[in-house]
Amino acid sequence: MMENKSHAFLAGVFTIGLAILVLFSIFWFSSDHAVLVPYDLITRSTVNGLGPQADVKYRGLDVGKVDSIRFDPAVPGQIIVRVSVDQNAPITTTTYATLSFQGVTGIGYVQLDDTTAQNGGQPSPHLPTSAKAVARIAMRAGFFEELEKRGDSLLTQLETIMDSLGNMFQADNRRDLMEAIRSVHTTANDYSRLAHAIEPAVRQLPQVTENLNATLASTRRLTQELASPDGTVLRTVDSVGRNLQGAADSVQSAAAGISQDTLPQVNGLARDARQTVRSIDRAANQFNDSPRSVLFGGPAATPGPGEPGFSPP
């Protein structure tokens, strides 16, 4: 009986020890072992939805938790949000914080970002901090806070827009708008009729294009013929030129023959004709002076000097 009790006791102790070891292991592996350093976020804005143990993220990555939220005793109205951040997080002198919200749950968290990282410049120096000298980071207004601040301005602009719309849809403006709509409708109908009118011409466009392509091809071939020294056109022109040159040579030869052979004969005939005309003219004058000379011959010629019967005057 004593052995059974001792075995049962040892089994109980072993079971309890195993359970404690399992719980410790679960706690150890589930807990974050990163070294956290404190930072104070300074803001004068509201921090609705933000509470202790809220997440702290650097550009979307979890880097810490919110430890506490309290008023700054030195500056009235200023709020200090103490956060614990992983010491390996790239917190620099240009890092700033904003209040963001997770989805539609409204649970707030702190979003850290860096001005230099946004502008793509050289990284700023690391911001040192410790439990005795906690570094401070400025907390800027988030999207919803900016929207809340600009709500009055947006409402005013919305009222102005609504007034403008009301004025635009007054009776006179509505009438003008309806006239414009009717004009647009009429123009659309005119365009539709025009489209129907030019539809036959559009159907003929492929044939016209084909004819134009054929004409261009013929023109291209003609250009190639004109540009080719051995082309038909240039050969024909060369043959015609040679024929014209031969004809010109023939005309020149004929002109030379006329000038050398025919013209002298024509000139001789012209001289003979002139002599004949002078003879006929003398005969006519003689007939006019002495018609008897036709029957009895002309009077004897008067002897000249040295001839018999010459008598000086």
Between 70 and 295, name the one with better pLDDT: 70
Q: What is the pLDDT of residue 209?
A: 82
Q: Note the pLDDT tens digit of each residue in 146-155.
A: 666 666 777 7
Amino acid at 216: L
**91 contacts 137 by C-beta, under 8 angstroms:** yes
Phi-psi region of 49 (alpha: psi -120 to 50; beta: other; left: phi over 0): left
**80 contacts 71 by C-beta, under 8 angstroms:** yes
- The single residue listed with the structure tokens 């539609």 is 104
> How is the chain split into domains, by residue range?
36-141, 155-196, 198-245
Look at strands 135-140 and 95-102 and give their pairing: parallel
Q: Note the pLDDT tens digit of each residue in 51-104.
A: 899 999 998 889 999 999 999 998 898 999 999 999 888 899 889 999 888 876
Look at strands 55-58 and 107-114 and give their pairing: parallel
Amino acid at 153: S
Instruction: Report percent pLDDT > 70 for the chain.
Output: 71
Retrieve residue 59's tokens.
Answer: 């550009």
pTM of the entire predicted model:
0.42
Retrieve residue 140's tokens.
Answer: 């800027």
